[in-house]
């Protein structure tokens, strides 16, 4: 495939900061079905399998945690393989293309379960969904990081991608509730699985055949032990991935408990879908705001301030009385806008951190790094589910529709939903406030990787 002249030098430095919009759109499109593939596994699937199919809430939490243990093995292997393969078709293109049918099948099976499905079905197809998601996201993320080498250009690309991520998230929220979330058989969740599968196949294929493959800047090959040694010695990465893990856990716990909090604690079961939709709709507004703030103040500082603002607002959630639709709606609006910072800025910083490794190790290992990044994301979400569900069960919380929960159980739900995440975010802020890799340092790293860039 001949690459257009305006993107022929992708990954070479500042000249690639303004990729054509058609390339950015072609790259960003599959982010929508990928988001609709990943989100339900943590926010909708546990609720559906516990409320509709009758899987015990503590069991569902342990199954999700076991899926993440599977990821702990599969994700690094996928990342390592993604960097080692070098086919003529393109190492990012080929693995991404291979993932599409696997992810499409798994989405259909997990989100359209048999009426007798239980914990085993959730575990098996949850693992396949997770594997397919990893096989797609690792090369997809590395592809984007390598397409653009400029500090601010990477934020622009990330903003395009995360806007479509949020659109896919909104679809994942609207469809199940609009069609019927709680019914067995062809439920709204099942229809979502079918559409996700079709979207992955169609939009993913468009990306493969339109977006150019970045030039591989690898100068030397590392063994797996050497690759791990360089990763562990990359201090900016370790600092970033720990902050991202803590913030991801802080976001994952409310995502897991959102439906329960709105229906049981606020006594607004009919508002679960609209409020969740409002939250992610406002995040779309937050993405360009995040991009503008990063351009003015730097990526890490803009992200840290946004996390601090989210803490201040989220502290109020457990204090709301039942029926506070407007009060909680306001919290959803503000924290939704701030979610745009969480989505747009960390992946852009991650691309800069990979430059720090490439300049020292001589191997361009975006796949390996994004696999570690993805594993941190999955672990944060899974640990959230694996911890909060047993704690809620021990507190006597019953997720069943119309269950008469005690005030103690509802208080435990509120504390887990809001105050525990605030503490986690404060730890992430402490790590990122003085993050050392800024625009000046990133330019020096690109010069070391691509002299004359």
Examine residue 203 and state whether it is found in any structural domain, yes or no.
yes
Residue 16, pLDDT score: 46
How would residue 403 be classed by pLDDT, with cut points 50, 70 and 90?
low
Integer angstrom CA distances of residue 46 from 55, 57, 71, 256, 354:
9, 8, 18, 8, 34
Examine residue 151 and state whether it is found in any structural domain, yes or no.
yes
Mean pLDDT of 341-362: 86
Q: Which of 296, 316, 93, 127 is nearest to 214 (CA)?
A: 93
Q: Which of 380, 382, 356 is nearest to 369 (CA)?
A: 356
Dump pLDDT digits (tens) for 28-84. 999 999 999 987 777 788 888 888 888 888 888 788 778 878 877 888 888 888 888
Residue 5, pLDDT score: 36
Examine residue 436 and state whether it is found in any structural domain, yes or no.
yes
Q: Which of 336, 283, 380 is nearest to 38 (CA)?
A: 380
What's the CA gap between 157 and 5, in Å, rounded? 19
How would residue 14 be classed by pLDDT, with cut points 50, 70 and 90?
very low
Give SS3 for 443.
Answer: helix
Could you give the residue ranges of the DSSP H alpha helices within 186-271?
A: 188-210, 224-233, 235-260
* Tokens at 403, concatenated: 């269950």
Share of residues in the chain with pLDDT > 70 (%): 93
As a dihedral over the C-alpha atoms of residue 206, residue 287, residue 279, residue 106, rounded to 10 degrees, the angle is 30
Could you give the residue ranges of the DSSP H alpha helices within 322-365?
A: 325-361
Examine residue 285 and state whether it is found in any structural domain, yes or no.
yes
Residue 373 has pLDDT above 60, yes or no: yes
Q: What is the mean pLDDT of the chain?
A: 85
Dump pLDDT digits (tens) for 262-301. 988 898 888 887 898 899 899 999 999 999 999 889 999 9
Examine residue 175 and state whether it is found in any structural domain, yes or no.
yes
Number of C-beta neighbours around residue 383 at 10 A: 18
Examine residue 1 and state whether it is found in any structural domain, yes or no.
no
Phi, psi dihedrals of residue 304, rounded to the nearest 5°: -60, -45
Residue 165, pLDDT score: 92
Residue 136, pLDDT score: 93
Most confident of 251-255, 355-359, 364-368, 419-423: 419-423
Dump pLDDT digits (tens) for 164-195. 999 998 888 788 877 877 777 788 888 999 99
- Rounded to a whole number, what is the largest CA-CA distance in the chain? 68
What's the predicted TM-score (pTM) here?
0.77
Examine residue 424 and state whether it is found in any structural domain, yes or no.
yes
Q: Which long-range contacts (CB under 8 A, 24 or more apart) does 209-212 make?
A: 209/1, 210/22, 210/23, 210/26, 211/23, 211/26, 211/27, 211/143, 211/147, 212/1, 212/3, 212/4, 212/7, 212/8, 212/10, 212/23, 212/147
**CATH code assigned at 366:** 1.20.1250.20
Examine residue 2 and state whether it is found in any structural domain, yes or no.
no
Give SS3 for 217.
Answer: coil
Tell me how many domains the chain contains. 1
Question: Could you list the residue range(s) of the whole structural domain that residue 237 is in?
Answer: 7-449
């Amino acid at each position: 495939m001949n690459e257009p002249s305006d993107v022929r030098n992708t990954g070479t430095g500042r000249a690639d900061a303004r990729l054509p919009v058609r390339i950015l759109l072609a790259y960003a499109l599959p982010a929508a079905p990928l988001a609709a593939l990943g989100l339900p596994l943590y926010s909708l699937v546990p609720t559906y399998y516990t409320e509709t199919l009758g899987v015990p809430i503590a069991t569902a939490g342990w199954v999700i945690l076991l899926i993440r243990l599977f990821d702990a093995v599969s994700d690094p292997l996928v990342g390592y393989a993604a960097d080692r393969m070098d086919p003529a078709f393109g190492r990012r293109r080929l693995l991404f293309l291979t993932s599409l049918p696997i992810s499409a099948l798994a989405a259909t099976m997990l989100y359209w379960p048999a009426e007798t499905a239980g914990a085993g079905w959730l575990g098996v197809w949850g693992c396949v969904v997770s594997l397919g998601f990893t096989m797609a996201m690792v090369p997809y993320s590395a592809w984007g990081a390598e397409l653009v080498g400029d500090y601010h250009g990477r934020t622009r690309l990330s903003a395009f991608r995360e806007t479509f991520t949020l659109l896919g998230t909104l679809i994942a929220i609207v469809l199940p509730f609009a069609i019927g979330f709680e019914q067995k058989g062809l439920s709204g969740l099942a229809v979502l699985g079918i559409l996700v599968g079709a979207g992955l196949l169609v939009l993913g294929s468009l990306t493969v055949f339109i977006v150019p493959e970045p030039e591989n800047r690898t100068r030397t090959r590392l063994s797996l032990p050497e690759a791990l040694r360089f990763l562990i010695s990359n201090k900016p990465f370790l600092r970033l991935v720990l902050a991202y893990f803590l913030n991801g856990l802080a976001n994952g716990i409310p995502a897991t408990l959102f439906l329960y909090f709105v229906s049981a604690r606020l006594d607004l079961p009919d508002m679960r879908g609209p409020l969740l939709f409002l939250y992610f709709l406002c995040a779309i507004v937050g993405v360009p705001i995040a991009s503008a703030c990063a351009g003015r103040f730097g990526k890490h500082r803009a992200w840290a301030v946004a996390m601090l603002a989210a803490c201040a607002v989220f502290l109020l959630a457990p204090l709301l009385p039942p029926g506070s639709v407007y009060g909680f709606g306001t919290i959803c609006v503000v924290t939704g806008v701030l979610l745009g910072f969480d989505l747009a800025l960390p992946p852009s910083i991650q691309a800069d951190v990979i430059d720090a490794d490439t300049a020292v190790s001589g191997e361009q290992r975006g796949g390996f790094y994004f696999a570690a990044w993805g594993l941190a994301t999955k672990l944060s979400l899974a640990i959230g589910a694996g911890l909060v569900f047993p704690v809620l069960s021990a507190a006597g919380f019953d997720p069943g529709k119309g269950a008469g929960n005690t005030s103690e159980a509802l208080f435990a739900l509120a504390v887990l939903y809001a105050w525990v995440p605030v503490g986690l975010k404060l730890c992430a802020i402490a790590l990122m406030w003085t993050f050392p890799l800024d625009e000046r340092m990133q330019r020096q790293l690109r010069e070391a990787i691509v002299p004359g860039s």
